[in-house]
């Protein structure tokens, strides 16, 4: 059996997205900045895609900017808020310890440029509170950036409550909604967010297409200087096939959100129940306030990397920590922020499902995983010490 359970890393392009992309390569290939008919046909495609994002986010088309992906959207959002803060002499930014590196590393760069960053601790359930945000806000705070749903543990943050706190304090609020998009309803008015990032390849659209929503009152800082594309805020000829695929995928994901969540939640819960029945295994993040397809557990006494290789041999594609950190031996910053000790964080497994996963696949995963975990534990000197009492069990 071939099972793809790494949908938080990326997803398969849907038939709908592919069908929207295909004619853009050879039929609607004009440059949307050109005045002639082929150009204007491409411009119409671009406008239609922008309108789809605007409608589903409850925004205006003029508030939607296309980027090269979620990372660029995050960079541009943070740089925008920092530039606006700078003008008003406000150089303090609040974020969290479990953000994606596109946010964390941009914040590090801003620190080197003189900004002060407060990273909020992550409570044991993996859900940051609006109260934490409220007490961290200072008179010189120019931005709060809290991700909508975490990419490793899938926990969903109280974005509307945080938005209300920020609005009341007059502080800009950015949320990296890359993992939430297509799984959780997003209404930028209701949530009171000022800046929001999306990435098409996380909701069955193509890679290399991102969306940055910026409220009318927030003038974007340009990262890519060039032509007048995207109202002069993002130079470069627009990727019409990618943008059309992204819009079709987002429209479909929003339309099928409820039915997908109803389908996925019991599959997720069955995986969680089955995996946490393995001794010395713990679920990471709140069991309920998490994305419908996210499962993340730590198995004591094993290495996530070895687990992934054995799973891959059985045809199961999963992840340990985030794809960005795999290849390095550092345990996930998310699991450490959650309070897992290093040795426990190393034994993590993330299974992220999509509506394309079948119930039989869950049966198969639950059939093979306990055996793989025992096999790895039997070979592990650490497990030996845990079992003989030389080392205390941590979970």
Does 316 help bind ligand PLP (rule: CB under 6 A)? no
Contact present, 221 and 79 (Cβ < 8 Å): yes
Q: Which residue in this structure is represented by tokens 């009492």?
A: 389
**Cβ 140 to ligand PLP, closest distance in Å?**
27
For residues 101, 104, 105 and 111, what is the CA-based torsion angle, rounded to 10 degrees? 180
**Cβ 10 to ligand PLP, closest distance in Å?**
8
Q: Cα separation of 57 and 51, whole Å?
A: 10
Binding residues among 32-51 for ligand PLP as defined by CB under 6 A: none
Does 64 help bind ligand PLP (rule: CB under 6 A)? no
SS3 content of the chain, % helix, strand, coil (to 5): 45, 15, 40
**Cβ 97 to ligand PLP, closest distance in Å?**
14
Q: What is the CA radius of gyration of the chain?
A: 22
Structure tokens at 41: 């046909």
DSSP state of 144: E
Does 65 help bind ligand PLP (rule: CB under 6 A)? no
15-23, 69-77, 221-229, 251-259 -> range binding ligand PLP (CB under 6 A): 69-77
Does 294 help bind ligand PLP (rule: CB under 6 A)? no
Structure tokens at 388: 């003989």
> Whose Cβ is closer to ligand PLP: residue 6's or residue 303's?
6
199-207, 226-234, 347-355, 377-385 -> range binding ligand PLP (CB under 6 A): 199-207
Q: Cα separation of 111 and 114, whole Å?
A: 5
Of 6, 176, 239, 300, the one binding ligand PLP by CB under 6 A? 176
Does 102 help bind ligand PLP (rule: CB under 6 A)? yes
Of 30, 69, 292, 301, the one binding ligand PLP by CB under 6 A? 69
Phi, psi of 366 (to 5 degrees): -70, -20
Does 242 help bind ligand PLP (rule: CB under 6 A)? no
The residues with which 144 forms a beta bridge, in sequence order, are 94, 173
Q: Is 298 a catalytic residue?
A: no
Contact residues toward ligand PLP (CB under 6 A) are 69-71, 74, 100, 102, 147, 151, 176, 178-179, 199, 201-202, 210
Residues with active-site annotation: 324
């Amino acid at each position: 059996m071939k099972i793809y359970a790494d949908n938080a890393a990326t997803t398969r392009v849907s038939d709908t997205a592919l069908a929207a992309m295909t004619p853009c390569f050879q039929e609607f290939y004009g440059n949307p900045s050109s005045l002639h008919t082929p150009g204007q046909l491409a411009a119409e495609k671009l406008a239609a895609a922008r309108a789809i994002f605007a409608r589903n986010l409850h925004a205006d088309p003029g508030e939607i900017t296309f980027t090269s992906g979620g990372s660029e959207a995050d960079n541009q959002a943070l740089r925008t808020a920092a530039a606006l803060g700078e003008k008003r002499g406000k150089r303090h930014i609040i974020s969290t310890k479990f953000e994606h590196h596109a946010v964390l590393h941009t914040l590090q760069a801003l620190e080197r440029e003189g900004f002060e960053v407060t990273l909020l601790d992550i409570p044991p359930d993996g859900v940051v509170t609006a109260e934490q945000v409220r007490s961290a806000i200072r008179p010189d705070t120019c931005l709060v950036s809290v991700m909508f749903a975490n990419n490793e543990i899938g926990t969903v943050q109280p974005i509307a409550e945080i938005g209300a706190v920020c609005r009341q304090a007059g502080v800009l609020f950015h949320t990296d909604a890359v993992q939430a998009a297509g799984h959780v309803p997003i209404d930028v008015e209701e949530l009171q967010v000022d800046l929001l990032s999306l990435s098409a390849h996380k909701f069955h659209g193509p890679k290399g297409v991102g969306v940055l929503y910026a409220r009318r009152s927030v003038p974007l800082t340009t990262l890519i200087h060039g032509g007048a594309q995207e109202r002069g805020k993002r130079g470069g000829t627009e990727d019409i096939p990618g943008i059309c695929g992204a819009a079709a995928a987002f429209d479909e994901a929003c339309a099928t959100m409820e039915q997908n969540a109803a389908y996925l939640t019991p599959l997720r819960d069955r995986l969680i129940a089955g995996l946490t029945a393995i001794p010395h295994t713990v679920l990471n993040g709140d069991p309920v306030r998490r994305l419908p397809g996210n499962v993340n557990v730590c198995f004591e006494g094993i290495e996530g990397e070895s687990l992934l290789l054995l799973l891959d041999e059985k045809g199961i594609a999963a992840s340990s920590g985030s794809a960005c950190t795999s290849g390095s031996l550092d345990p996930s910053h998310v699991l450490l922020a959650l309070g897992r000790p290093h040795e426990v964080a190393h034994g993590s497994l993330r299974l992220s499902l999509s509506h394309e996963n079948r119930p039989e696949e869950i049966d198969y995963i639950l059939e093979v995983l306990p055996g793989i975990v025992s096999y790895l534990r039997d070979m592990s000197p650490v497990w030996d010490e845990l079992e003989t009492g030389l080392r205390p069990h941590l979970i």
